[in-house]
Chains A and B, each alone.
Chain A
Amino acid sequence: MMRSLTRISAIFFKELAQLRRDKMTFGMVIMIPLIQLILFGYAINTNVRDIPVAVVDQSQTTLSRILVQIVEATTVVKVTERLNSVQEAEEAIRSARVRAAFILPDDLSQRIVRSPSVGLETPPSTDEETSRPVAQWIVDGSDTMIAGAIKSLRSMPLSELNRQPPNRSTATFEVALFFNPEQRTAINIVPGLVGIILTMTMIMFTSAAIVRERERGNMEMLINTPVRPMELMIGKIIPYIFIGLLQTGIILGLGHVLFNVPFGDRMLDLFVGTLLFIGASLSLGLVLSTIAKSQLQATQMTVFVLLPSILLSGFMFPYEGMPLVAQYIAEAFPATHFMRMIRGFVLRDATILDLHRDVLWMCGFFVLGMFVAALRFKKKLD
């Protein structure tokens, strides 16, 4: 037992000394979270604004110009072109100069007067005349997010045209937004980014850990020593646990300063959850490292894990929106569980007990990963 600890410490200090001298890796430890946080924190925004649109005004009236202004005032769209025909508008969409076109028909005035959205009168709903829309949107529907934003304009009230206060109609449902009432994307992105960056760096570093010994020719010497596979694995991951915690600190700290993302009151839960996720990612990296034949292969395998972790984990797209099979696949990645955990701890004041299923799963993944890696690591050359 004592000897075992001594050997683990030998591996640990050796890794630390090598890591300290590897300026590139050391730089990545700091720069990856820093740059990605700033980039994604500012860049990713799921509230679509200022979509470039073209206007085809066939009525050319004061009313039509006011209508365009009201639509622009929503800040959802921004008129960048004024075109003369629907054909030109379609052409503009095809060439991606605009994402949508706003077509105002020449009988706009008549349509507006009878439209219920203007609120001049309350016509019977079955009336052919009044059920005609005021104007038309042609939208590049390939991007569902853009399409959704413009669809939200479909039944916008036009009572302003009539110099009346906005229609204060009673909502069918009352919606109270917990945890992120201002609907800022960064609140959701920054904690999630911890999961993505840890997945990337932790798996990348450890997936190279074993195969590097092989590539640099140290393996034959190493397996001639009495070191046991499990000791080697443990000694190799300890330095990266500290690195992972450091990166988490950088992201959450800077996220707090730059984007006002809360830390939450569950610091201990957050610490334990992050530790488990770091462990799970490191053990996955070690397993990859025992499979890879070269450091290049190890990097390729990292990408193979990283992409689903970004796309399926719920970091970018809601987990619930995925088909059941994809949800099962997503469950296999530690990042999925961590997304739930960190958003829970940081944003929803959840405790480890609330998320015990993810916690247990992560523990299991870590232990299993370490055993698989240790079993796969043979102290043999054949």
Chain B
Amino acid sequence: MSGDASDIVVRAQGLVKKFKDFRAVDGLDLTIERGMIYGFLGPNGCGKTTAMRMLTGLLTPTEGTVEVLGLSVPKDAETLKYKIGYMTQAFSLYGDLTVLENLDFMATIYGMPAKKRKQRISEVMDRYSLTDLKNRFAGKMSGGQRQRLALATAVLHEPQLLFLDEPTSAVDPESRRHFWEQLFDLVEGGTSIVVTTHFMDEAERCHKIAIMEAGQKRADGSPKDLMAAMGANVVEIEGPNLRDIRRHLLGTDGIMAAAQLGARLRVLVKDEVPDPEGFLKAKPETDGATLIEKVRPNLEDVFVTATGEGRQ
């Protein structure tokens, strides 16, 4: 193993997963560095979860190689299990066991000695505000509480690498924000995290993201770099008849996409158009517009340009 390899936690090459004739993951290359939150961003069914399951050894790749924490997967998947934590998309702890029993079960399964077990459980219960809930049945808890329990069990054995599969899909915005703060605490403590999401605001918090569509990686990099390299400018139009304007613009050369956000129309104009604001103002459809202004791109714009019709 070379010196820089230890800074790479996940390395995947030409990863393919076929379910019968359907290619759920289709030629995925990944390099994930240590100490960061790496996000898979994509719509449902784009292969995010399948990709993650291949990285943890739950699925056998049809083609390609995976190396996680220097271990070849799925060959060394069992050794890897001590070093990684995994939080499933749906709550998968035991609803008919209490918080404490669930934590104790998981700590014992990972082979922790009794003394260490007690200490770690009280640590994570304290950190994830579960101490007051310790005798509550997991099945009787709210989405946010369950999510905290799931994260607590996933980090119980102090894994170097944490896989989170759509961790915040069943959680309110407040708990979501709090959850991400906890992830950054973990990263600060030296844990690397791989997370899947279909929320743009979550993806924006990641150090690096891969935009996935139809089993393929469309783009990857830090959100900032991706926005800079988007290949389009974003112009917002305010005024009446935004639906009409959108319909007319969509067929026009130089326009990549247009989407309405409340009282504004957000238009992606291709990079090759030198003056995007002037270009739009010159269009007869925008005569009634009260404001046409170039704005900062966001991750959703990146997503739109990287996937679907925006991709050509």
A residues in contact (CB < 8 Å) with B: 3, 6-7, 9-11, 13-14, 17-18, 21-22, 216-228, 379-382
Contact = CB atoms under 8 A, between A and B. Distances in A.
B45 interface: no
Nearest to A221: B92
Given A221-B86, A380-B58, A14 B111 contact: no
B134 to A, nearest CB: 14
A227 B109 contact: yes
Interface of B: 19, 53, 56-60, 74, 77-78, 81-82, 86, 88, 90-97, 101, 105-106, 108-111
Contacts of B95: 216
Contact of B92 (A9, A220, A382): A220
Contacts of B97: 14, 17-18
A217 B111 contact: no
A382 B19 CA distance: 9
Contact of B111 (A7, A11, A381): A7
B81 A226 contact: yes
A141 to B, nearest CB: 55
A200 to B, nearest CB: 24
B106 to A, nearest CB: 7
A382 B78 contact: no
Given A14-B97, A220-B92, A223-B58, 19 more contacts: A6-B108, A7-B109, A7-B111, A9-B108, A13-B108, A14-B94, A218-B92, A224-B56, A224-B81, A224-B86, A225-B81, A226-B78, A226-B81, A226-B109, A226-B110, A226-B111, A227-B109, A380-B58, A380-B60
A217 B89 CA distance: 10
B109 A220 contact: no
A224 B110 CA distance: 10
B96 A18 contact: yes
Nearest to A2: B111
B109 A225 contact: yes
A218 B101 CA distance: 15
A9 B110 CA distance: 12
A346 B94 CA distance: 42
Nearest first, the 4 A-B pairs at minimum CB distance are A10-B108, A221-B92, A3-B111, A224-B86
Contacts of B88: 217, 220-221, 224
Contacts of B81: 224-226
A13 B105 CA distance: 8
B78 A381 contact: no
Contacts of A218: 92-94
Nearest to B105: A14
Contacts of A221: 86, 88, 92-93
Contact of A217 (B90, B101, B108): B90
24 contacts: A7-B109, A9-B108, A10-B105, A10-B108, A11-B109, A13-B105, A13-B108, A14-B105, A17-B96, A18-B97, A22-B96, A216-B95, A217-B92, A218-B92, A219-B92, A220-B88, A223-B58, A225-B109, A226-B78, A226-B109, A380-B57, A380-B74, A382-B19, A382-B59
